[in-house]
Amino acid sequence: MVAAAVGVTALATATTIWTAQAGQTGGKPDAPRAAARSAAPKAAPQAPPLSAAIAHASDRGAHAVNITIDDGPSPVWTPQVLQVLHDNGVKATFCMIGPQAQAHPDLVRQVVAAGHRLCDHTVSHDVTMDKKSEAYQSQQILDAKRQITEASGGVRPMYYRAPGGAFTPYSRHLAASHGMRPLGWNVDSKDFERPGTGAIIATVKKELPNGPTLLFHDAGGDRSQTVAALRTLLPWLKQRGYSFGFPVR
């Protein structure tokens, strides 16, 4: 009987202690573990889907321009374009051909290190992409994205520009789903045709009211006229109060 009484007393004492401890944590014996779970870092909210609409506007507002440079990088002309941009304190968007980026990773990294942005301009620069299969479009866009990203040391292209503007609804949505805003242009400098430095400058000044995104090239042939035109145009734009931005994302 005495042993039984002692057992009952011990049980009652243990129950009292457990109840008191439970009361200290809101009546839940596993509250410390629950608190630890609630204190665990929460997953960051996902960014909204990127627009598949073709971008033209500048992130610096109405009185700004976006300088875009296509078809490189070129070991001859890209360094010269980079120097002109540096001399004028201007940032640009470089739309690169995948194999060109792969062949000149040092130039891709120089572009990134200088604060410029990267753009996917496909593998083959096929201006008839809009007439090709979705599988072909996907290969051209995604292989170039991988090549540019690897060449840059892991910096991904932020935009996709279809060669010759040959966008399709499929290519636009594919690019956007892979983090690249489709990128158009408003002012075609016609520098690709090498019409002369004066003609390039005149074309840009004439077409500037069309919108903020200007198209130039740093590969695909002799780009000395482009370099010379940029030396004149960048200070001219600054004198007229233009700022320089990046295409909207």
137, 158 Cβ separation under 8 angstroms: no
203, 216 Cβ separation under 8 angstroms: no
194, 199, 156: which is closest to 175 by C-alpha?
156
Kindly name the residue from 56, 70, 87, 218 that is annotated as catalytic: 70
Radius of gyration of the chain (CA): 30
Q: Side-chain half-sphere of 137: how many Cα atoms within 13 Å?
A: 22
The span from the CA of 179 to the CA of 95, in Å, is: 15
Kindly name the residue from 104, 121, 125, 217 that is annotated as catalytic: 217
139, 123 Cβ separation under 8 angstroms: yes
The span from the CA of 44 to the CA of 46, in Å, is: 6
The span from the CA of 80 to the CA of 209, in Å, is: 27
- Is 70 a residue of the active site? yes
- The three-class DSSP label of residue 62 is coil
- The three-class DSSP label of residue 162 is coil
Tokens of 49: 């889907």
- Is 218 a residue of the active site? no
Residue with tokens 């005149």: 202
77, 87, 95: which is closest to 185 by C-alpha?
95
Tokens of 58: 């500048």
Q: Among all residues, which ones are annotated catalytic?
A: 70, 217
